[in-house]
Structure 1
C-alpha cells in the first residue's frame, strides 16, 4: 500500500505519467483520488502547459465517472503533445515498446501498462487523431504495438493505420487490419460457422429499426436468428452499460424510452448459459500468440456478470472454485476447448486479444465478446485471492516474452 501511495506523488517536471495502472489500482483498493486531483488542478493552474499532468488528471476524472470533463482535459493534453512516457520499467529498460493509441477513455486502447509493469520494458504512447495525417516518423522504439481498439469512431483511423504500418520499420504487434474485424456484428458473422463455438448473430440497428421491431415488425426481418428474449446494448458500449435482456416487444419499447437519444444499438438473441447448479460462470481469457490464458472466472446468480458485481469477495466457495479452475486451466478448460481457441486464433490472427466467454450445457464455448481493450490485472488483494497472482504472472510473462521475441526478430 505504501508503495502505491508513493507512486501517486507526482514530481513536477517529470516526463512520466502517473499511469492508468497506478491510478486504477489505487481506486480499486479504495484510496480516495480526490486529493490527488486537487493537487493536479493546483499544479496545472501554475503550469498550464504541462500535458503530462493534464493526462493524469483526465484519468483521475475518468475513474471518478466525470467522463465529459475527462475528455476535455485529454483534448488539452493532446493539443500540447502526442507522445507520452509510462512508468513501467522498474530499472534500466531493456527495450522500448511504442503503443499507437487513439483518444478516448481507458477502454479505447489496449491497456498495455498492466501487461508490462514493473519489468524491463519501457512503454511509450503515441496518440494519433482520427481525421489527421499519420506521422511519417515515429519516436525511437524497438517494437510497435497498435493499441487502438475497434469502435465506430476509430474504424477510419484503423484503416489509415493499415496503410501506414507498412512504412514504419520496427517489428509490429497487432496489425490493425485484424482489429478492424472486431465489431460485435462482424465477429458474430465470422464465427457463425465455427464448429466448437456458439455465438448468436448480432445486428447493428438504428433506433428507427428497433422502433419498428417494437411496433410489431417480424424480428427476423432485423436479425436472422432472432428469438425472444433478445439482448440490446448501445453501439460501442462496454462493461454492461445499457445492456439489457428484453423478453418481448413491450420491454423493447420501454428500453428505447430509457435510452432516449441513443441513435444505434446492437441486438442479439439471449443464450441461457447457466450451469446445472443454476449459477452463471463467465471467463475472461486472453490469447497471446494463439495460446489461451485465464485471467478471471466470475460466478453469479445473474446472467449479466462483471467480476465486481459477482460477490466473489463475499463468497469463499466461489473463490475456491475459481482457484481450482485457474490451477487446472491448461489441462481442463483450455484442453476441452482447444478447437474453439484454434478457431478463434485462425479467425482473428492478432498477436494479443481477449475474450469474455462461458460454457454451454452441450460443451460449446459461448463467446460474448472479442476485443483488444479488455483490462486484465493483478490488483486483487493477495490475502483474499492468493491464487490469482501466479496465474496473472503467466499472462504478463507470456506477453513480455512475445515483445522480446519481436524485438529480437529485428536483429536476427
Structure 2
C-alpha cells in the first residue's frame, strides 16, 4: 500500500500565491524553476505550472499542460509546513485550475503539517503506490471536468483501508448548482433558489418567444466561478445580449433574489463547515448585487472592513448561533467532513445559499495592516482543520 521512495518536494500553492499577493518579484523564482523543470525534477515543473497559472490567459493554459505532464512524471509530491512534525495528510487531487481541488495547502498555513499531493485521474487503476501518511483527504471537487475522476474515485476508495476525510465522491458529484438547489429545498430556515440547467438552444428559443420562466433571472455558463459570465437579465432583449456575449453551450438559470440589507448593501459571506462546525472565512460587502471578495473593494472602504470585522468577531454568538439549526441540518444532509458555502442573510432571517462546494478558496493572505481581524479568524479555522485530520488519523 505504501511507497517508501523519497518524495519530490514542492513549494505548494500557498507559498507561491503568497508571493503573488505580496506583489513580490517572481522573475528570479520563475527562472530557477524553469532551469530545473523536467522529468528529472517534476516538483520544479509542478511549481512552475502553479506560477504560470497565476498569470491567467494563455500562460494559465500552458501551466495546466505543464501540471498534467508533471503528474505523469510522478504522482506524489510532498509539501512540508513549519517544522513538519504534524500529521501527514495525503490529498487525492487531479490536474486542473485552482478551483479543481480542495485548497488544503492554504488551510495548513502556519501549522506543522505535511501535505502530500497524490494525483489521480479517470484512468487511475489502483492506489497501490501511496506514500506513508496518517490520514487521507478526498480533495477532488465538483465540476464537469472532474465527473469521470470522481466516478473512478467511487471505485478506488470503496474499500480503502485507512481514514479518508470527505470520502464521498458520489456526494461531491451531486454538488452542481442545479442538484444542490434541489437537495436543499426542504431545510428549514434556508433559501436556495431553484436552479435549472439550460442549453443555448433552449435559451435562444425562450428569447425568441419573448417569454421566460421568471424575470429577472441570473444566468451563468456551466462550470464558471468567481462571477465569470454571470449576469442578471430582466427581459428577452437582455437575454439575447447575454447569449451574444457568452459562447458557451450550457448555462445555469435561477431567479434573482434581492438580499439587500437595511442599508441597501449586499453582503455575501463565505462560511466553512469542518466536522459540522461553522467557521468564518470572509464577508464581502458591496452596493452591487454581484459581489465577490475580489470585486467588493474592501481595501478602499473602511466601513466595509468594519462590517466584516464585526461579523467575524461576533461570528460564534451571532451568525453561527442565528443559523445554527439550519447549518447543522445542512451538514447532516451532506455528510461531508469539510465544505464551504457562499451565503447571505435575508431580511426575513433565512439563510440564502448561493453555492456549496468543497473547493472554495480559503486563505489568510490579505494584508494584516488593513485586515488585522482576519488572522485570528483564519487561525481558528486552520487549527480546526488540522485538529480534525489529527483526530481522524487516530481512529
TM-score norm. by structure 1 comes to: 0.90
Matched, 1:184 2:177: yes
**Matched residue, 2:299:** 313
Q: Note closer, same or farther for the CA distance 1:75–1:214 as it changes in structure 2 (3 Å cut).
A: same
Equivalent position SS for 1:185: helix
Where do residues 164-183 of structure 1 align in structure 2 (5 Å cutoff)? 164-175=156-167, 176-183=169-176
8 Å CA contact 1:28, 1:379 repeated in 2: yes
Matched, 1:100 2:92: yes
Match of 2:191 among 178, 189, 198: 198
8 Å CA contact 1:102, 1:129 repeated in 2: yes
Match of 1:60 among 24, 30, 51: 51
> How far apart, in 2, do the equivalents of 1:270 and 1:245 lie?
7
> How far apart, in 2, do the equivalents of 1:166 and 1:93 lie?
30
Matched, 1:228 2:220: no
**Matched residue, 1:271:** 257
Which digits, 9 at most, give the CA deviation of each residue in 1:210-232, with x for residues without a partner?
11122117533xxxxxx211111
**Matched residue, 1:337:** 323
Where structure 2 has 5 or more consecutive residues not aligned to the other structure, the ranges are 1-5
| Pairwise CA RMSD | 1.7
Match of 2:25 among 20, 25, 32: 32
8 Å CA contact 1:284, 1:295 repeated in 2: yes
> How far apart, in 2, do the equivalents of 1:292 and 1:138 lie?
32
Where structure 1 has 5 or more consecutive residues not aligned to the other structure, the ranges are 1-12, 221-226
Where do residues 204-243 of structure 1 align in structure 2 (5 Å cutoff)? 204-216=197-209, 218-220=211-213, 227-243=214-230
> How far apart, in 1, do the equivalents of 2:133 and 2:320 lie?
35
Deviation of 1:387 (Å):
1.0
Deviation of 1:308 (Å):
2.1
> How far apart, in 2, do the equivalents of 1:14 and 1:96 lie?
13
> How far apart, in 2, do the equivalents of 1:217 and 1:301 lie?
30
Matched, 1:348 2:334: yes
Match of 2:123 among 131, 141, 149: 131
Where do residues 101-120 of structure 1 align in structure 2 (5 Å cutoff)? 101-120=93-112
> How far apart, in 2, do the equivalents of 1:374 and 1:292 lie?
14
Deviation of 1:48 (Å):
5.1
8 Å CA contact 1:234, 1:265 repeated in 2: yes
Deviation of 1:132 (Å):
3.6
TM-score norm. by structure 2 comes to: 0.94
Match of 2:354 among 368, 389, 393: 368
Between 65-74 and 96-105, the greater mean CA deviation after superposition: 65-74
> How far apart, in 1, do the equivalents of 2:176 and 2:115 lie?
27
Moved over 4 A (4+): none
Deviation of 1:77 (Å):
0.8
**Matched residue, 2:3:** none
> How far apart, in 2, do the equivalents of 1:255 and 1:209 lie?
14
Match of 1:393 among 358, 379, 390: 379
> How far apart, in 2, do the equivalents of 1:96 and 1:192 lie?
38
> How far apart, in 2, do the equivalents of 1:110 and 1:184 lie?
17
8 Å CA contact 2:198, 2:252 repeated in 1: yes
Match of 2:137 among 134, 140, 145: 145
Deviation of 1:117 (Å):
2.7
> How far apart, in 2, do the equivalents of 1:93 and 1:212 lie?
60
